[in-house]
Amino acid sequence: MNRQYFGTDGVRGPYGGPLVNEDFAWRLGAAAGRFALENGAVSGARVLLGRDTRASGAALEGALAGGLASTGLAPFSLGIVPTPAVSLLVRRDTAALGVVITASHNPAADNGIKFFGPAGVKLTDEQEARIENLLPLQAGGPVEVPSALGAISAYLDATSGLLSALLTGWKIVLDTANGATARTSTQALRNAGAEVVPLGAEPDGLNINSGVGSEHPEKMCALVKQHAARLGIAHDGDGDRCILCDERGVVLDGDEILTMLALHALKQGKLAKKALVVTVQSNLGVDAAVTAAGGRVCRTSVGDRYVIERMLAEGATLGGESSGHIICSEVSPTGDGLVAALKVIEVMQATGRPLSELRQALRKFPQASTALKVREKKPLETLPALARAIRDLEAKLGAQGRVLVRYSGTEPKLRLLVEGPTDEAVRAGMDALETAARTDLEVG
């Protein structure tokens, strides 16, 4: 399904550019309102809007609300809240739509817009394409958005009760990326009795994701070692990702978290349909570990909403991405960094084992990945050198590895991934792909 404006995770780009600005936000709000009315919403139905800490968020919220209100819907602001809070509250209140104004892990100069349907689930490609077809030609003006009170307390209530015991005596480093979780995750862990060492917890509108958060875990790791903490937790700017650090200061990625949660659930007989859903990006070691424990792994295209769609189709309740989007759908209908962290802590409590031991459940196949910034996303089938390099490498690796080449859905980048039987084979394969990509594309 071809879409002009929506990418892998909503509309995203530099604030003030041709895509993310007040005029387009108004038009997008109006189109989303028309879409909701087409699909059973009634005049006056509530739409819940949340945003991260970017300085541009409030202006975009007012414009979006203006577009939504022009169709007869009633927008309400949840204020600065994590993306999963919007998803949860939309599902709880059966709102017509949920809207989050965020560019996730991108720098503060960017912003974006993503939508949730009444069930709290992200819209499909087809639904987003329909919204694009409903875009009005002209924009109107912003409106004052009334506040929906109690959003943070409602979210914390929904995520409480996941631990089997209090965290008395636990010291946890928490990096909230100067983003939307600075209040929520901190409060949740302290409510559970933990001593929290904060990092990236002073948002000023301009410092979101700046050297902190899930994309920059180095400071978190250093603080874990410095304070002899049990673990470190890092979110991205809107709080739907979770990256962890063990007590030795070593980072765990989403694959390790998912494997740990899946194996623990399988042992307890609680992994729904015995299924774990991951994307094509996840390491083949995930399949090996889960299959050996009696489970099964289903793979999807990259993007947490594709994971969620497959989870719904399979009847699965656990899925996610190696990037740290972890979906525990019995609690939250979308990726939730806080829920993922609490679920892992619960495994630590139940087993009495530290993360440095629990992570050993996943033995990764040698893997390398990189992202090349490109001037133009030319169709991959039109790139002869790259196509030839992919064919040659796939033939060489056979069943002992795999190759993944795709464009980012949110950034001007070509992403390359190689897995193989040895580090040497992987490095050689990646060198061949990079050389071919630079032959066919302007990289810089």
Q: Provide mean pLDDT across the span 415-433.
A: 94
Judge whether 119 lies within some domain: yes
Distance separating alpha carbons of residues 166 and 180, to the nearest angstrom: 25
Is residue 58 within 8 Å of residue 311, measured between CB atoms?
no
The alpha carbon of 178 is separated from its chain's Cα centroid by a whole number of angstroms, namely 16
Indicate the pLDDT class of residue 436, thresholds 50, 70 and 90: very high
Looking up tokens 């939309």, which residue turns up? 90
Nearest 5°: phi and psi at 196? -100, 125
In a domain, 346, yes or no: yes
pLDDT (tens digit per residue) in 188-242: 999 999 999 999 999 999 999 999 999 999 999 999 999 999 999 999 999 999 9
Residue 24 vs residues 87, 201, 208, 255, 443: alpha-carbon distances, Å: 23, 31, 23, 37, 30
Q: Give dist(CA 356, CA 318) in Å, integer.
A: 22
- What range does the domain containing 434 cover? 367-440
Helix axes 384-397, 423-440, angle to 10 degrees: 170
Tell me how far apart the alpha carbons of residues 212 and 192 are, in angstroms, rounded to a whole number.
24
Q: In this structure, are 341 and 376 located in the same domain?
A: no
Band (pLDDT 50/70/90 cuts) for residue 30 is very high
Average pLDDT across the chain, whole number:
95
Count of positions (residues) in the chain: 444
Q: Nearest Cα to 79, choosing from 170, 177, 150, 5?
A: 150
Is 162 part of any domain?
no
Residue at 160 is within a domain = no
| 143 and 18, same domain (yes or no) | yes
- Pairing state between β 231-234 and 171-175: parallel
Total tally of structural domains belonging to the chain: 4
Residue 52 region by backbone torsions, left for phi larger than 0, else alpha for psi between -120 and 50, else beta: beta
Claim to verify: residue 245 and residue 258 sit in the same structural domain: no
Q: Tens digit of pLDDT for each residue in 66-98?
A: 999 999 999 999 999 999 999 999 999 999 999
- What is the average per-residue pLDDT within 347-371? 95
pLDDT at residue 1, as a whole number: 60
Quick: pLDDT tens for 124-179: 999 999 999 999 999 999 999 999 989 999 999 999 989 989 999 999 999 999 99
pLDDT of residue 181: 98
Catalytic residues, by residue number, are: 104
**CB–CB of 94/45 below 8 Å?**
no
Do 342 and 402 lie in one domain? The reply is: no
Say whether both 338 and 429 belong to one domain: no
Indicate if 220 and 179 belong to the same structural domain: yes
Same domain, 233 and 259: no
Between 400 and 432, the more confident residue is 432
Residue with tokens 């002899």: 228
Residues 340 and 360: their CA atoms lie apart, in Å, by 18
The pLDDT value given to residue 71? 98
Under the banding of pLDDT at 50, 70 and 90, the label for residue 2 is confident
Rg of the chain in Å (alpha carbons): 22
Sign of the C-alpha dihedral, residues 396, 278, 98, 33?
positive
Choosing from 361, 390, 414, the residue where a domain stops is: 361
Taking a C-beta distance cutoff of 8 angstroms, is the pair 78, 93 a contact?
no
